Amino acid sequence: YGDHRDLHLSLRRQRQMCIRDSFVNMYSLHAIGSAVERIFGKTHTYAAFTLSAMSGNITSCKMSKYPAVGASGAIFGLAGAFAVYLYRHKDVLGSGAEEQLNALGTSLMINAMYGATSARVDNWAHFGGLVGGCTYAYLFGPNFKRDTFGRLKNRPIVDLR
């Protein structure tokens, strides 16, 4: 069973990983969250974040052998919401949207591959959050369409106004 020093090292290592993960999540939330907030507005960003957190944590509880609760599913959800926005508006945003989509997709794939090789990462939570964010953005997010005069008008699929 080992001696008490093994337990102390294990707890110390867990605390270090928790602090590191918190900083990674804070940086990721700042990086993607600020972009999503500029586009979606505060209310929709908070709603997408909350729905993504819930769907990520529920998916983890239902699918994972070792369920986790955390913010990373919600952050993946914001990335998914941003991806839906970019994909939906490629014709308006031009090549920059395609470049951002490629960069976002690459980042998500790297995270998924890392998660597949690490016992500490719950890809189910990431996947659930991603689906939650994509679903929210598809239904309630910005959906700019041209009117008869060629002006862009926001026409979300579900308009809560």
Question: 89 catalytic, yes or no?
Answer: no
Catalytic residue among 34, 72, 95, 118: 72
- Taking CA atoms, 26 is separated from 2, 4, 29, 74, 106, in Å, by 36, 33, 5, 12, 20
pLDDT-based confidence at residue 138 (cuts at 50, 70, 90): very high
pTM, two decimals, is: 0.87
pLDDT exceeds cutoff 50 at 37? yes
- Tens of pLDDT, residue by residue over 112-134, are 888 888 777 889 999 999 999 99
Tokens of 111: 């995270």
Highest mean pLDDT among 2-16, 26-40, 108-122: 26-40
CA gap 70, 54 in Å, rounded: 10
pLDDT-based confidence at residue 19 (cuts at 50, 70, 90): confident
Nearest-5° Cα angle at 139, 138 to 145:
75
Question: 28 catalytic, yes or no?
Answer: no
The mean pLDDT of 49-53, rounded to a whole number, is: 97
The predicted pLDDT at position 65 comes to: 85
Least confident of 20-24, 46-50, 82-86, 132-136: 20-24
- Tens of pLDDT, residue by residue over 53-67, are 999 999 999 998 888
Closest by CA position to 75, among listed 117, 38, 21, 118: 21
The mean pLDDT of 31-60, rounded to a whole number, is: 96
43 vs 65, more confident: 43
